[in-house]
Amino acid sequence: MSDPADIFNKIPELGYEEKLHDVSSDSFDHIIQNRRSVRVYTDEKIPAHITEKVLEWALLAPNSSNLQCWEFYWVTDPDKKAELVKALFNQPAARTAQELIVAVAKLKTWKAHRHQMIKLFNSSTQKIPSSARAYYEKLVPVVYNQGPFGIFGPFKRLFMKSAGLFRPVPREPKSIADMRVWAHKTTALACENIMLGFSAFGYDTCPMEGHDSERVKKILGLGCESEICMVISAGKRAKNGVYGPRIRFPKEQFIKKI
């Protein structure tokens, strides 16, 4: 069986090519420019099929090792929605929203999704690189398993520190805290798809980190292995929905060409 590390540095010969769709940079620029954090919405409803499509787009976001460590709760029940607004401190972006979507980062679903990937490989008619199969069968359990209460962490840190003296090594995740970062990064990528998706349909959003996470988890019936990444409100912006012009610091402050 191939070394699972081969998946990082060897190009497999698969004979697969995917057709690209026609695109417009101008249209995308309009979508990007229109996306603002909207704090007040009108009473205009969002058709259900639009929200459904946007959530499907969320699932197309890039994610670490295709382990898809996310869940999205589209809260439509009036009672739960009212509870959620309270847990969001009754802020206007939540109170006036037509839709509320809770993005949840999952720390432990990597195990089940790893097995799901292997099962798909076994049933696939496409050629699967042996390195990809080895990656999920051998490397993923080593990389993502932190052990009970994170007890593997110190050993991982020691091993990576020692091995890293001689060659490049993947140094994270090596703790439960790293797993939280890992899961939130992936989930946040999908959240951007949600916000740009609504913008493409002419609706607006606001990503809200201001919430009582324990209350939100209780409303959704989530356990300790789940983390609330953010809550996204959506609707049609009111005239007073944007509080001021977009403020960005000079690009030279953040974009470094070396």
Amino acid at 163: A
Task: Find the DSSP H helices in 99-222.
Answer: 110-123, 130-134, 140-144, 153-163, 176-200, 213-220
3 state SS of 2: coil
Note the pLDDT of residue 251.
97
> What is the pTM (predicted TM-score) of this model?
0.93
Instruction: Give residue for tokens 């051998």.
Output: 138
Instruction: Tell me the DSSP string of 166-193.
Output: TS-------SHHHHHHHHHHHHHHHHHH
Please give the Cα distance from 92 to 70 (Å, whole number).
26
Tens-level pLDDT at each residue, the chain (258 residues): 566 667 777 888 888 888 999 999 999 999 999 999 999 999 999 999 999 999 999 999 999 999 999 999 999 999 999 999 999 999 999 999 999 999 999 999 999 999 999 999 999 998 899 999 999 999 999 999 999 989 998 988 898 889 899 998 888 899 999 999 999 999 999 999 999 999 999 999 999 999 999 999 999 999 999 999 999 999 999 999 999 999 999 999 999 999
Sorted by where each begins, the domain ranges of the chain are: 38-109+176-240, 111-163
Assign domain 38-109+176-240 one CATH number from 3.30.56.10, 3.90.1720.10, 3.40.109.10, 1.10.10.1150.
3.40.109.10
